[in-house]
Structure 1
Amino acid sequence: MSHPHTGGSVRLSRFASVATAVAALAALTGLTGATAAAQEAAAVNYVALGDSYSSGVGAGNYEGGDCKRSTRAYPQLWRSANAPSSFDFTACSGARTHDVINNQLGPLDAATTLVSISVGGNDAGFADAMSTCVLQGESACLARVEEARAYISQTLPGRLDAAYDAIRAQAPNAHVVVLGYPRMYELNGSCWFGISERSRAAINAAADDLHNVTSKRAADHGFTYGDVRGAFTGHEICSGDEWLHSTTWPISDSYHPTAEGQSGGYYPVMESLA
């Protein structure tokens, strides 16, 4: 009577051993699959598009060429911190929306997972407006800024739509981060010279218009918008702790973020959204 019982125990033990081995193999396979999935999820293919605020004009340490791409620009800082699988940096000084469409989208494809862009300021004639304000006095400044604000409200939305549509068409799977622009001036700040307070307030109002239009167009395309105005608060021109150049040499650096503006203003916003 004892032998059948013993044989049953052996068979049960063997069954348990096989079951354990199968379970262990399944667990190992699942772990390997999970690891592969995690590695695939971690693979980031990043393309940085845009104008001088994205290329890093004003931050120095440029790589060469007319686009003035800086190693201190926020896309390079994000790359250094996150080590994406691939990185293409096509942002260029002076770029408008049509320049992005025509000259910067080459690296985008279905494998692109992350895109960043700032664009629109040049379309609105920001550089010309600042030049007018500095050289021609308050009346000319206010008139030129009003012209820019009219463009921002009436024409820029369609220009942004065209650029955003082109990005989505070529990078259908990408997470797109659209970054805005800071206000230029701290009002009633520490500047004793330069343009008038009314001119400074008008320029800030134009920056707010850019924010309103760009954030709305980005949201309507399903893109993520990064408002950098808060990050630059207390660091505008006339603040005493400036992350933006005033009129400076080289002249092209004027009214652009310094290296601190890229690392302390733009980069943390990009990091939080990417």
Structure 2
Amino acid sequence: MTNNGTFSLQFSGNASGLYPSKADFHQIGSGLNGHFWFAHEQNAASEQTDRLKVTGTWRLGRSLNQWARVYVHMPSHGAHSQQAHYTVDRGANITSKRHKTRVVGQRQGTNRWVPLGTFQFNGVPQVSLSNITRGVDVGVENVAWDAVAIVPLSQKPRNFVVALGESYSSGEGAATDASTDYYHDSNHNGGGVLEHRNGCHRSQHAWSRQAWLRDDPQQRSIGARSDAFDPTMDYHLIACSGARTHNLLPSGSNPISGVQVSDPLTGAPFQTAWGTTARQQAREVSQLDKGFVDENTTLVTLSVGGNDVEWSAAIENCILLPIPCQESDIDGHRAADYLPRLMDREGRQSIATVLRAIRVMAPNAQIMLMGYPQLFSNDANCVEWLGYGISDSEAAWTNQLAVELRDVLSEVAIAANSSLGRVRFVDPIINGDFAGQGVCGEPETIHGIVAAKTAGEDHSKVQNPSQQSFHPKISGAANYARSLNREFRNIGL
């Protein structure tokens, strides 16, 4: 690694010529070469009143006229922000979209290089980071300035892949050791502050990482290629367990990046069928606000909708209530009537909105919408929690829900393919990828009850098992990858 460039700091001042921002600026002996700076998170409102903004800028010592990969170094401790906004200046000779913003979590738990992505430069590259975020709390979590690396490439990568979605996409459950299999920024207790924890559970074994693309003659997985810094692969996993459709949508106007996005159907900001616009989750900005999905993206994978139609709430009722869960109350409605109605109405519309938003952000991407498996095999006689189990009728009902949701997702994808182009539904049910291997199956590739909670989970809900329950194991994520690989081959990928 060659040190070639400069790092500069800019401090916000007030009308009296004072610099309050310098009072909240510190250094620690950690990170790359044993040193980094930090300040506490602020937002636009606090900057107006308190003038605590600090901006650090790394500037390469020479001009580049080529594609290059950008990495930021995160220290093992002292960096806490879950939405650090890095702005990449691609050079003075770039005439369109010169500045690109990438939002990443800094709480990595180890000294680690984190990729911001691959960019085309024409001029002197610069990367800037301020302590201004879109968070509500200020003065609590640290934003750290450590180091930046720029790695020139001989050509544009063939594959720009982004994995969006909820728990089934993040790899929830695909772990044998939660402390190592989940990326630390997606599985931590927030320094002991419940509201600052992150349980997105992005797994190194997520199905988007296990799948492979045919351009690689060695048939290495997408994740293996990314981990090996393959110059033809730019991959980012930003799905988050528990996400609903509004957690994927882009903001109408991003106050930090300046990006403005509107729904072509309405001319207004994207919103779900419930009227909800983009929302943050686990102190992270919405997934399409993170900046990784753009005009260079070639492939987007996702699963979404299960949380919107209250499938997870129904499963929770199955194990926590003494009555059949299909007869239980969800939002004042009988579950057996309510969930199919949500799927066919609000769920259908909101999932279609997400696909439309992805197409606006990534006009050149192939979109792969993944379905859900039937959870139970051989009834559900192996499941027991706090004296309750899941009856045969409950297992049959939840399996039927998976089929009904599959039908809705398939129809939405077909309609989106017709109107947007290059949208494909991946069906793990019709191809039997989990047949006989669900909960209580042999082998069991979907967890039943998982009692032990991870660092990133809410431990105050003592009656609830781990959120990893009823999610695919590593072997189940492999089943999902097999489904995706089949569809890749069907469309020539």
TM bin, normalised by shorter chain, reads 0.7 to 0.9
CA distance in 2, matches of 1:80, 1:160: 26
Query: Any residues of structure 2 matched to 1:92-107 within 5 Å, and which?
Result: 92-101=240-249, 102=278, 103-105=286-288, 106-107=291-292
CA distance 1:40–1:212, shift in 2 (3 Å): farther
Pick from 419, 423, 435: which aligns with 1:233?
Answer: 435
Query: Any residues of structure 2 matched to 1:142-157 within 5 Å, and which?
Result: 142=327, 143-157=334-348
Partner of 1:29: none
CA distance in 2, matches of 1:117, 1:99: 13
Pick from 52, 67, 80: which aligns with 2:223?
Answer: 80
TM-score scaled by length of structure 1: 0.80
Instruction: Report runs of 4+ in structure 1 exceeding 4 Å deviation.
Output: 39-42, 81-84, 187-190
Partner of 1:27: none
CA distance 1:58–1:189, shift in 2 (3 Å): closer
1:114, CA displacement in angstroms? 0.5
Gaps of at least 5 residues in structure 1 are 1-38
Query: Any residues of structure 2 matched to 1:14-25 within 5 Å, and which?
Result: none
Cα deviation digits, residues 48-71 of structure 1 (max 9, x gap): 101010100101210022211000
Pick from 276, 295, 299: which aligns with 1:114?
Answer: 299
Secondary structure at the counterpart of residue 178 of structure 1: strand
1:167, CA displacement in angstroms? 0.3
CA distance 1:190–1:128, shift in 2 (3 Å): closer
Partner of 1:212: 407
1:187, CA displacement in angstroms? 4.5
Task: Compute the RMSD of aligned alpha carbons.
Answer: 2.1
Partner of 2:481: 267
1:145, CA displacement in angstroms? 4.1
Q: Give the length in aligned residue pairs.
A: 235
Gaps of at least 5 residues in structure 2 are 1-153, 176-180, 187-197, 212-221, 250-277, 279-285, 328-333, 418-422, 454-465, 489-493
Q: Which amino acid counterpart does residue 324 of structure 2 have in structure 1?
A: S
Q: Which amino acid counterpart does residue 246 of structure 1 have in structure 2?
A: G
1:190, CA displacement in angstroms? 5.8
Secondary structure at the counterpart of residue 172 of structure 1: coil
Cα pair 2:171 2:201 within 8 Å, conserved: yes
CA distance in 2, matches of 1:135, 1:192: 12
1:75, CA displacement in angstroms? 1.8
1:87, CA displacement in angstroms? 0.9
Cα pair 1:45 1:112 within 8 Å, conserved: yes
1:88, CA displacement in angstroms? 1.5
Cα deviation digits, residues 158-202 of structure 1 (max 9, x gap): 101110110001111101111000001125476486211111111
Partner of 2:201: 68
Q: Does 1:243 align with 2:445?
A: yes
CA distance in 1, matches of 2:487, 2:157: 16
Segment drifting more, 122-131 vs 39-48: 39-48
Cα deviation digits, residues 13-72 of structure 1 (max 9, x gap): xxxxxxxxxxxxxxxxxxxxxxxxxx9897011011010101001012100222110001
CA distance in 2, matches of 1:140, 1:186: 18
CA distance in 1, matches of 2:247, 2:403: 24
Partner of 2:424: 224
Cα pair 2:380 2:391 within 8 Å, conserved: no
Cα pair 1:137 1:195 within 8 Å, conserved: no
Cα deviation digits, residues 58-106 of structure 1 (max 9, x gap): 0121002221100011122231355552111110111111101131122
Partner of 1:49: 164
Q: Which has the higher strand share?
A: 2
Cα pair 1:44 1:85 within 8 Å, conserved: yes
Partner of 1:256: 471
